[in-house]
Structure formats: C-alpha cells, structure tokens
Structure 1
Amino acid sequence: MTNIGGGTVRLEGALSERIPFTAYDAGWVVLCIGMAIGSGIVFMPLQMGIKGIWTSVAAILIAYPAVYFLSKLFIRSLSASGQCSNYTGIITEYLGKNWGILLSVVYFVNLTKSMFAYSATITHDAGSYLQVFGVTQQSLASTYWFPIAIITFLVAIASRGERLLFKVSGPLIIVKLSVVIFLGVSMIPYWNFGNIEFIRPQSAIRFIQDVTLSLPFAVFSIVYTQILNPMNVAFRKVESDPAIATYRALRAGRYAYMILVVSVLFFAFSFLFSITAEEARTAVAQNISALALAARVMPGSSVKVLSMVLNIVAIMSAFLGLYLGFSDALKGIVINVADRFMSRGTTFDRIFPAAMAMVSVVILSAWVIANVSSMALIQWTAPTFGIVSCLIPCYLVIRVPALKQFRSVSLWFVALTGILVIAAPLFKLFER
C-alpha cells in the first residue's frame, strides 16, 4: 500500500498530471460549493453592514486563508487513517474509543447547529417570500405544518445518498452559483457608497472585538469542512490507492475554494454597497437573511426574483450536502456506543437510516417552531466549529507521529483562527 502522507505530497507534484479530472470529481466540487453557499453567504452581508468596511475586510483577510489551510489539514489528517470510514472511527483509530466518542459528539453538535440554521432560514425565508409576493397574508413559518412539511421533504431527498444528491443538488448548485454572480451584477445600479461606514474604530480593543464577532460569518461564507470527510471517504471507496484518493479530494476542495472566493466576495461587497446599516439591523431583528431583505427593500422585480431563487436554492442545496456529514457523524456515534454493548447485524444497518431520518425531522422541526435567531445561533455555537475544524486536526498532527509531515506554519495559523472563533461568544457578551 502506498504511504498516504508521503504519497499525497508526491502526487501533488509531477505525478498529478497523470490523474484525470472526472465527472465524479466535478460532482464533489459542486457539492463543496453547494455546502459553502448557504447560511454564511446570506448572513455575512448583514454582519458586514452592521460592523462596517474595515472590520469586514480584516475578518475576511483572516478567515479566507484559514479556510484554505484548514481544509487541506482536515483532509490530510483524516485521510491518513487506515480504515477511513466515518469521523468517529477515524478519531477512535488515532486516539482510542473514549476520545473518539467525546470528539465525535462535538463534531455532531457542530453539524447539528448548522442543520438548525439551515432549517430555520429556509422555513422563515420561504414564508417571507410567499408573503412578499402576495401568496399569503402572513408568514407560514409561524404555523406548525409548514416547517414540518419543508423539512420532511428535504430529509427525504438527503437521506437517499450521494449519487442522488449529485443528480438533485448538482443542477441546483450550478443555478445558485450563476445567480450569485448575476445578482451581484444586478445590484450594481443600487450601489451607494454612502451606505458604507468608513468610521475609524473607537479603540484597538473594540476593533478586535468586532473582527472576532465577524470572523464566524466570514468563515462560514465559504467553508465546506462539513462535507470533507464524506468526500474523503467516498474517494477512498472508488480509488484503490489511498494516496490518489487523498489527492483527488484535495484537488476537488482546491477548485471549489478558488471558485468560492471570487464569486462570494463579489456578491458580498455588491450587497454591502446596496444596503444601509439600519436595514441590516432590521433584518437581524426579524430573523431574515440578506436576500430576503433585498426582496423587501430594493425596487424592481428582478432583484426580488433572483434573491428568492438564490436564497431558497442556496439553503436547500447546503442542507442536502450537510446531511451527508450529519448522517456520517450520527452513524459513527451510534456505532461507537453500540459496539460496546452488542454485535451489530444486518437488521441494525437496514433500519438505522430510516430511524435517523425520522428523528432528524422531529428535532429540526421543533427547532424551527421554537424560532431561535439564526444569526445568534451562528455566533453562540461558533466554538464547536473552531474545535472540530481547526483545533482537532491541529491536535492530531501534533499528537500522532504518523502525521508529523503535515506540521508547518499554516498549522499554527489554523490553530489561532480556531481560538478566535471559539472566543467569539465571549466577545458577544460585551457587544454594544
């Protein structure tokens, strides 16, 4: 068997030209993009509008390089595992069963809070759009049946596996990436540089506080780590050489990253130039996204229609992609616990996906009905992302001798970013 760590490095050099880019690779690039263009992109412009240009630029300059480094580190550290099946199994192989279950619970919580955010956003925004276009007199999100119907529909699709997701999510993601670019262009006539606050920070401490609070939104606008382990595992299943499988996963992530940086930055700043800080605060208070806000405040039907299409498609496809990671995490936890007390059989494996789908519908619907702020959820639960996507991979590289070839300066940059993201809720307590 090829040495995974050293083999991956070699393949990224001269041998990389011998590995073709297939439709299967393209499918994962599309799913990574779909995972990234979700709640982050529809909420980051609001945070940018509230905090101003200097804070936003500083947060982006920290977040975007960190996303690139942590994505590579995440794939490399997990792909070096011998069995490479699910997140819990990989951590268990490195650190043992007890650490495996503990860190997997944190991983699961990180994915679950994203599922909560997507579920709430798509339900509330769908209700808002129906109201804006005169279909209903009030938002259906306040009912019980509407959230349950939408979430049941999404879970039914997402639970069918990656091949169906390629067929369903692929066209949706292509549409939403196109709309992101087109919507950014269509908002140019509404640009008003007077909307941008160039006010100097009151103090260095206040500036650091605002940047730290904005950092999770900047990270979540292009991050796709939630789908990296399912992608890595999928390539290991179709590729006999683990080093080649790892290279293909890294390449797919790299292509997705480059596309996301260009398109998301253009869209976010176009939006920033088109809304006022007061409009951004109003949207946050009403628990709606930047796109739903655009449909309300910008004249003309084109922006309204494009905003609606992008918002619904973005959150829907991100939900579908995230479900792969969510199911991977939940499966790993259940198997870790079950293997301690029983011998699993075919019956267990057969009924588990359906049981997980039903539990998911109940939990997510209950969350939506509770109507917790999506913006607050992103900030208060940011530490789980910092732990799972930043600190755990860094810890593995430092702790596990087999991963020592991945130690570099970027490792410490990722660790620092993770610490800042974890600190975001603390700064939220002192926000004025």
Structure 2
Amino acid sequence: MYENASEKKEKLLDPKKWHKQDTTWALSLFGTAIGAGVLFLPINAGVGGIISLLFITIFAFPVMYYGHRAFAKIIYSSKAADEGITGTIREYFGHTASKIFNLVYFFAIYTIVLMYSVAITNTAESFIVNQMHFNKPPRAILSLVLVIVLIAIVNFGQDLTIKVMSTLVYPFIASLIFISIYLIPQWNMSSLNVSSISTVSRGQGILGMLWMIFPVMVLSFNHYPIISPFVIKQRETYGEEATDAKCAQIQKYGYILIFSVVIFFVYSCVLSLSPKDLAMAKEQNLSILSYLANHLNVPIITYISPVIAFVAIIKSFLGHYVGGYEVMRDIIMESSRARGKELSEKTVKTMILIFVILTCWYTAYANPSILGIIESVSGPTGAVILCILPMYTIHKIPALAKYRGKASNVFVTAVGVITVLAIFKSLF
C-alpha cells in the first residue's frame, strides 16, 4: 500500500511549474466559454453607449473568474469529486437535492438549445434574403429542415459530435479576432455618446438598462459544464493538496485570454455601429455578425460574417444538446425506474428526439426574442448554477468553511441575485 502511494505521488507533476497540459486546459476553458452567446453580447453591451460598455468592461472579468472559481471549489472539496457536480450535490445535500439540481441544470441548458434554434433560423433566413438575394423561404419549412439537420449531425454519434465541435472552436476564435481587427477602419465615436442612451433604452432608464446586461454577461462567459472534468483532471495530475492553487492558476490565465478576446470583439463591433443600429439588431432578432453583414458595405464582412455566425451557433447548439441529452436521458430513466418500469436505451432516445425536434421547431418558428430568452430564462438559471449554488454550498457545508468570509463571495452572491431578479424586470 505504501509503495503504491509513493509511486502515485512520484507520478504527480510539480504544481509550481507550468506544464503543457496547463496550456491545453487554459485553451479548453477559452474554447468552451467563447461560443454563440458572444455574438449577442455586443448588442446589449453597446446599446447604452459608453456607460454600458464601461460597465461590462469592469464587471465581466470578476463575474467570470470568481463565479467559476467558486464552482470549482465546491467540486474539488467533495469526496465525490470524481463524479463531477452531480455527485458533489448528492454528497452535500442528498439524492432529492441532486434530482432537483438535474432538473434546473437541464432547464438551463435546454433553453439555450431552444435559443440557438431561433438563432440558426434567423441567420439562415437573413443570409438567404440579404446575401443570396432570394425570396424569404417559408419559416415553418426552413426551421424544420435546419433543426432536423442539426439533430442528424448529433445522431452520427457523440464522439463525432465532440470531435466536430473541438475542430470548430479554434477557427471560430481566430475568426472573431480577424473580424475585430478588420472592423477597426469602420470605428466611429457615436456609440460613446452618453446622450444616446435615452433613445435606445425605451424608457427603462440607465439602471434598468444596466440591470439587463447581467444575464447576457453571465451567459456569454459561462462555461460551467467543463469545470467538473477540469477539476477532476487537476486532482489526478497534481494531487488533492495542490488542486486549489493549480485550478486558480490555470483559470486566471485562461480567463485573461477569454476576457481580452471578447472585450476586443465587443468594442470593435460596437464602435462600428451606432446605438440605434444596435437597437435595430435587437429588434430584428439577429446576432451582431448577421447585422454587420447586412449593414456594412464591406464585401468580406458581408459574406464571412454569416458563415462565422453559422459555425458559432452550430458549435454551441451541438455542445449544449449533448449536455442536455445526457441529463434528459438520466431524468427519464430514473423516473421510469421509480415507477417500476425499465425503458430501453432506444426507446428513451426516440422519446428525446421527438421532444427535441418538436420543441426546437416550434420555438424557431415562433421566433421569440433571443435576447429576451437570455434575459428572462437562460441568464438567470445560469446564475443560479454558477453564482447562487456555490455560495450557498460554501455557506452551509462545514468542509467548505475555509472559503467563507471573503469579499468575492459577497460579490458573486450579489451578481447571482441581481441576475435572477432580472426575470421579473424582463416581464415589465
């Protein structure tokens, strides 16, 4: 036993040094965080001019860093850390709480799947009409075809889906940087005009406008699904005692990279348009890239922007669908077992496919506001998981007592509460 423990300790990497796997994980956090949600951030971040831009510049990094750090802490402090967040919640709060968490987790992920069904339909419709100069296709047919194609890609197999996603990540990030640089000649100062706020905030006032930035900001930088495997890998590589410091180090450098790229992209897009343009993009329910393609008379932007938007939305749809499918499958199978029935994997898969196709098709056809979904559903539920759950766990669980009493805890809790309360603000 002693020899095995010694051999295992010898295999651990030195946590004081930076290793290749640290770079790989920093880039993985980067790739997971930067998805299609980023394409809607410039609209809310820029619609209020300089005030909202400065607001997101100040708050984006600490929200992302402290929220995901707290999420990592509650996982690697658990004896069931190897089972990820589900095992962690089960250990801390029991089976019933674990089931409730799974439902909230599924709801948070699946509303994003529905949102991207709308986004891919609007992007395709805009491209067909504005770039290909064809007549607008029947929305019911277009949305159904797109949803079926996306689901068909997933059903080639999860391994292939993940491989496709990982292949798309880095060209997408490179494209965002390219677009940001290419837009520099289009920059103007009209978006930095404080007086423009009143014309685009629809009477909700500066505070109300800033309030509704929180849900979009939380969603745009969110990557909590990858935190569980990230923590598990650091425990295996560096040992339990070094996990906290190593996770903090990798997350810090990864988040500096994420923040730099996203904020550069946001500023470049916002400075290329006026607040009224951004309000129009929100009204037309388009991503910032689709609106830029239609608005700017720049050939390369006109044709490359919709392609980048397609890649981003498809990547994000596939990633969230995989996560949503696994949770939905577990919920259905546990529920059937509780009633004394055992459903086959094939039956469960068929049920999920029918449910996903019908709900995504209907949502895409109905064309609800994408930013409305983010503000009233996806952002707040994401804040429950990313901000409120970790802070409540740290407050309640004795094993996490050493993480209490920090100013960052108050900050994360406040952000979580403000973002959740945006549900009520969005109703008025």
Query: Given that residues 26 and 250 in structure 2 are in contact (C-alpha distance below 8 angstroms), is that contact kept between their aligned partners in structure 1?
Result: yes
Equivalent-residue separation in structure 2 for 1:65 and 1:390 (angstroms): 12
Pairs within 5 Å for 1:135-214: 136-138=134-136, 140=137, 142-158=138-154, 163-199=159-195, 206-214=205-213
Match 1:48 to one of 45, 49, 52: 45
- Residues 234 and 246 of structure 2 are in contact (CA less than 8 Å); yes or no, is this contact kept in structure 1? no
Amino acid at match of 1:69: Y
What is the TM-score normalised by the length of structure 1?
Answer: 0.83
Measure the CA separation in 2 of the matches of 1:62 and 1:154.
Answer: 35
Q: 1:147 to 1:342 in 2, by over 3 A?
A: same
Do the aligned partners of residues 44 and 31 (structure 1) sit closer, same or farther apart at CA in structure 2, a change above 3 Å counting?
Answer: same
1:235-254 per-position Cα deviation (integer Å, ceiling 9, x unaligned): 49987966788888766655
Is the contact made by 1:132 and 1:296 (CA closer than 8 Å) also made in structure 2? yes
Moved more, 304-313 or 294-303: 304-313
Distance 1:429 1:370, change over 3 A: closer
Identity of counterpart residues, as a percentage?
Answer: 23
1:48, distance to aligned residue in structure 2 (A): 2.7
Which deviates the most, 223-232 or 400-409? 223-232
Which of 347, 351, 363 aligns to 2:359? It is: 363
- Give how far 1:291 is off: 1.0
Please name the residue that 1:225 is paired with: 224
Partner of 2:15: 15
- 1:98 correspondence with 2:102: no
Counterpart of 1:375 in structure 2 is 371
Determine the structure 2 residue equivalent to 1:63. 60
Aligned-partner Cα distance in 2 for 1:228–1:14: 21
Partner of 1:391: 388
> CA 1:311/1:201 → structure 2, altered by over 3 Å: closer, same or farther?
closer
CA distance in 1, matches of 2:374, 2:119: 12
TM-score by structure 2 length? 0.84
Cα pair distance change 1:289/1:332, threshold 3 Å: same
Give the deviation of 1:265 after TM superposition: 0.6
Greater mean alpha carbon deviation, residues 126-135 or residues 113-122: 126-135
Structure 2 Cα separation of the partners of residues 376 and 65 of structure 1: 24
* Uncovered stretches (5+) of structure 1, i.e. residues with no partner: 2-11
Of residues 243-252 and 361-370 in structure 1, the stretch that sits farther from structure 2 once superposed is 243-252
Q: 1:252 to 1:336 in 2, by over 3 A?
A: farther
1:29, 1:255 within 8 Å by CA — same for their partners in 2? yes
CA distance in 2 between counterparts of 1:258 and 1:394 reads 23
Alpha-carbon displacement from aligned partner over 1:142-162 (angstroms, at most 9, x marks no partner): 432322332233234345666
CA contact (8 A) 1:59 1:212 kept: no
Q: Which residue of structure 1 lines up, in the alignment, with residue 8 of structure 2? A: none
Q: Cα 1:353–1:399, aligned 2, differ >3 Å: closer, same or farther?
A: farther
Which residue does 1:38 correspond to in 2? Answer: 35
Tell whether the 8 Å contact from 1:31 to 1:321 is kept in structure 2 after alignment: no
For the structure 1 residues 315 and 73, does the alpha-carbon distance in structure 2 shift closer, same or farther, using more than 3 Å as the test? Answer: same
Structure-1 separation of matches of 2:63 and 2:239: 29
Give, in whole Å, the separation in 1 of the partners of 2:222 and 2:238. Answer: 28
| Residue of structure 2 equivalent to 1:424 | 422
CA distance in 1, matches of 2:373, 2:38: 15
Compared with structure 1, are the counterparts of its residues 50 and 149 closer, same or farther at alpha carbon in structure 2 (3 Å cutoff)?
A: same
| 1:347-395 deviation line (CA, Å, top 9, x unaligned) | 7456545543443222222211121110111111132122111101111
Note the C-alpha offset of 1:336: 4.4
Equivalent residue, structure 1, for 2:214: 215
Q: Please tell me the residue identity of whatever aligns with 1:177.
A: I
1:401 aligns with 2:398: yes
**Distance (Å, rounded) in 1 between the aligned partners of 2:243 and 2:152:** 29
Kindly indicate whether residue 81 of structure 2 is the aligned counterpart of residue 72 of structure 1. Answer: no
The 1:266–1:50 alpha-carbon spacing in structure 2 relative to 1, beyond 3 Å, is same
